[in-house]
Amino acid sequence: MELYLPYMAGSGLSLYVANSLYSYINEKNIGVDVVVDETSMPDIEPKDYSIEFCLLDDNLVERVVSSNKSINNIGVTVRDKMKSLQKLIHEECGRLYHINNTKKIKNRWLRLIKEYETYGHDEFIYRHNKNSSKPSL
């Protein structure tokens, strides 16, 4: 196997130049250990971060959407959640859903509660708004 001396010298020289440039650029950080103290870090929860962006639907209607799900406290028991969601849907969406103890109605309310907790207040209102600008299929 033949050794190419010019290639070896060129690669060695380029390594030496790269190392010296790297040490020159980072000379302030040489020999300094960076220790992050977790007690000095501010406590920022993921709820505090929110990214707002715009969505366009098929009719090119623009609406502002936030990455932070705004979920209001709707209650603890299923009955409380049903009553508060009924009030919310009636006031903000213009729809009136009754609360009965039939299996069909109870399953619909359980689906609505799960949807509210999954998507958040704003998206829930947009999906169930009676006078929305969504295309009708």
In a domain, 20, yes or no: no
* Domain that residue 99 falls in: 74-128
In a domain, 123, yes or no: yes
In a domain, 79, yes or no: yes
| SS3 state of residue 63 | strand
Tokens for 49, please give them.
Answer: 């971060």
The count of structural domains within the chain is 1
In a domain, 43, yes or no: no
Long-range contacts of 94-100, Cβ-Cβ distance < 8 Å, separation of 24 or more: 94/129, 94/130, 94/131, 95/128, 95/130
In a domain, 92, yes or no: yes
Q: Return the half-sphere exposure (C-beta side, CA atoms, 13 A cut-off) of residue 22.
A: 6
In a domain, 100, yes or no: yes
pLDDT in single tens digits along all 137 residues of the chain: 566 777 777 888 888 888 887 777 776 655 555 555 555 555 555 555 677 778 787 788 777 777 777 777 888 899 999 999 999 999 988 888 888 889 999 999 999 999 998 888 888 888 888 765 554 44
